[in-house]
Amino acid sequence: MTTTSSAPGKVYLFGEHAVVYGEPAVPCAIERRASVTVTERGDDRVRVSASDLSLDGFTVEYAANGDGQPDVDVPTPLIEAAMGYVEEALAQARDAAGRPDAGFDVEIESAIPLGAGLGSSAAVAVAGIDAATRELGAALDPVDVADRAYRVEYEVQDGQASRADTFCSAMGGAVRVEGDDCATVDAPDLPFVVGYDGASHDTGELVAGVRALREEFDFAADTVEAIGDLVRRGEDALAAGDLDTLGRLMDFNHGLLSALGVSSRSLDSLVWAARDGGALGAKLTGAGGGGCIVALAEDAGVETALSLSPDCEESFRAALATEGVRAE
């Protein structure tokens, strides 16, 4: 039997980085999805093929409890991270099914750039756990998938992950995460436009950088708390469908993230291009350091403005994904 599941990526309306320290965050699922196809093998080996993770395609085969390393000409940290999420997702599926020696053929297809702030790792982990557990006859509900996918990110990111990305990918729509408290929230059909600078980043390294800054300077800790206060104001605006206030708060959030050192020249350039194009607000999304910005924009001018920016590799509208993980 062969089983396929898909899960959406996400953008952060507000709250990335601060959510790691127990502050609230509001990520929103978007209609860019990762699909994972799993076939149980007759032995304990794992064979992983990835046709598109913003890497050259690769295939690697290894023992279920061994080390696998694809031989491709891309940055080693990205390969290690990609394989880490896959391996940990399969380990969670084996644990859930009580099948510690199960082997798999795994094929990954993704429209979500790797390491760009759109939640590719969470989507792969969520879809991988869902597909592998169903393949082993131990299907989980989306909340349980989200919990196990969080454990995957926690392990790969050395204990510095939050539940936000994985819960959003598993559940779909807009969600609110504060520590271990996760809930879906009502949201209008938010008019997102995403700009991508073509870069990727190491999430764990960026999160560690914020942690070091926060431990060294009191004002950095205050900045993290200010982001939490901003999120709480943003929740009220979201509930009221007040797009103007949401946009203003997104601008403010970007400034606070810049103060924490997680923006970049290219991301700042894309944010300003979006604002100059008429966005209600714009900010980086995800860990930062390169990757994507998200703008709130009701007309076509923002996508055009981003596409004309020399720092923009791709721009696209991103509809809110109302459905999370699903069988394909």
The answer to whether 14 and 250 have CB atoms below 8 angstroms apart is: yes
Structural tokens at position 163: 């539940």
Q: What is the mean pLDDT of residues 183-201?
A: 91
pLDDT of residue 204: 76
Q: Which residue has the higher pLDDT, 253 or 205?
A: 253
All structural domains of the chain: 2-186 (3.30.230.10), 192-318 (3.30.70.890)
pLDDT for residue 225 is more than 90: yes
Provide CB contacts within 8 A for 157, sequence distance 6+.
Answer: 203, 204, 207
Output the 3-class SS for the chain.
Answer: CEEEEEEEEEEEEECCCHHHHCCCEEEEEEEEEEEEEEEECCCCEEEEEEEECCCCCEEEEEECCCCCCCCCCCCHHHHHHHHHHHHHHHHHHHHHHCCCCCCEEEEEEECCCCCCCCCHHHHHHHHHHHHHHHHCCCCCCHHHHHHHHHHHHHHHCCCCCCCHHHHHHHHCCEEEEECCEEEEECCCCCCEEEEECCCCCCHHHHHHHHHHHHHHCHHHHHHHHHHHHHHHHHHHHHHHCCHHHHHHHHHHHHHHHHHCCCCCHHHHHHHHHHHHCCCCEEEECCCCCCCEEEEECCCCHHHHHHHHCCCCCEEEEECECCCCCEEC
Both structure tokens of 68: 């696998």
The pLDDT tens digits for 263-293 are: 999 999 999 999 999 999 999 998 889 899 9
Which of 26, 326, 18, 283 lies closest to 168, judged by CA?
26
- Weakest mean pLDDT among 26-40, 43-57, 173-187: 43-57
pLDDT tens for 101-158 read 999 999 998 888 777 889 988 999 999 999 999 999 999 999 999 999 999 988 888 7
pLDDT confidence of residue 177? 95
Average of per-residue pLDDT across 232-244: 96
pLDDT of the residue at 212: 93
* pLDDT score, position 72: 42
User: Which residues form the catalytic set?
Assistant: 165
pLDDT tens profile 300-321:
899 999 999 999 999 999 999 9
8 Å CB contact between 96 and 148: yes
**pLDDT computed for residue 49 by the predictor:** 82
Global confidence as pTM: 0.88
Instruction: Kindly report the average pLDDT of the chain as a whole number.
Output: 89
**Per-residue pLDDT at 51:** 66
pLDDT at residue 17, as a whole number: 93
Cβ atoms of 78 and 105 within 8 Å: the answer is no
Mean pLDDT of 167-176: 97
Residue 1 pLDDT class (50, 70, 90 cuts):
confident
CA distance 131 to 126: 9
